[in-house]
Structure 1
Amino acid sequence: MTDSFAVTQKAVLLGPNDRLLLLENANGVWEFPGGQLRVGENPITGLKRAIRGTTGLDATVDGPVLNTAWEIEEGGAFAAIYRAHSPTEAATLAGDHVRAVWVEPTEAIERDLNTTQKRAIERAGLL
């Protein structure tokens, strides 16, 4: 194991009708919008940049709902998941995402999300 550590930030992103945005990546995995934090970048600024880069949406970020860390082959990984809002549901995909869907939080839980994502939806006060 190396000393490297990746920091990812994701958002439980709600639209104007309180529906949640889920992105499907090229591997068929559903995930929240977001991305890696850059060295020296403010966390909120970085999350807004990542949301805009993957969805084209300008979001406001309320605050963190869940932090988690785990080992990966290259070292370690840390994810901070925030609750955020978008004034529109007009997402445009970029990167390795193939589909975007806006769903009710209860419908999101029924999808094949990992335990951390489901817990983040709950901790965001959506269930």
Structure 2
Amino acid sequence: MKDVSAGIIVRNGKIFIAQRPEGKPLPNVWEFPGGKLEPGETLPQCLKRELKEELDVDAEIGEFIMNTTYGYASGEFRINVYRVHIPDDAEPKLNVHQNAAWVTPAEMDNYEFPPADTDIIRHLKTVGL
């Protein structure tokens, strides 16, 4: 099983989501930014690194929210979700993704997410931000 970290970045009651690029696995679907754990990293270190690489933000990794597992043809993934804070004046840059949006949990129904994110979205709608 591969471990992945994902970040829930909240600002003004909305969550940052990003659209995966063409030509990559799961093209054009929306996701919570993050990525795969590298050897020697903790999950928070992984998330901090991925957010710097993908969005050029210096993130403060907060509380662990939940994890969920999902099996794709390429293998089984455990997605470890954390609350993330970025400075109020920081605007994420799209170094990897093609689009971004700030949405409420209810608005996530208007975006296509990968099946692995279903439990995360359900949790955000139920528990809130």
Q: Which moved more, 1:111-120 or 1:75-84?
A: 111-120
Q: TM-score, normalised by structure 2?
A: 0.79
Q: TM-score, normalised by structure 1?
A: 0.80
Q: Cα deviation per residue 1:78-124 (whole Å; 9 max; x = unaligned)? A: 110111111135110112x1011122333234433342231242366
Aligned counterpart in structure 2 of residue 23 of structure 1, from 11, 18, 31? 18
Count of residues in correspondence between the two structures: 120
Matched, 1:91 2:92: yes
- The equivalent residue for 1:69 is 69
Could you tell me how far apart the structure 2 residues matched to 1:20 and 1:75 are?
Answer: 28
Could you tell me how far apart the structure 1 residues matched to 2:82 and 2:126 are?
Answer: 10
Could you tell me how far apart the structure 1 residues matched to 2:127 and 2:87 are?
Answer: 18
Could you tell me how far apart the structure 2 residues matched to 1:110 and 1:93 are?
Answer: 21
Q: Percent identity, please.
A: 28
Corresponding letter in the other structure for 2:15: L
Corresponding letter in the other structure for 2:102: W
5+ residue gaps, structure 2: 22-26
5+ residue gaps, structure 1: none
Q: CA RMSD in A?
A: 2.0
- The equivalent residue for 1:59 is 59
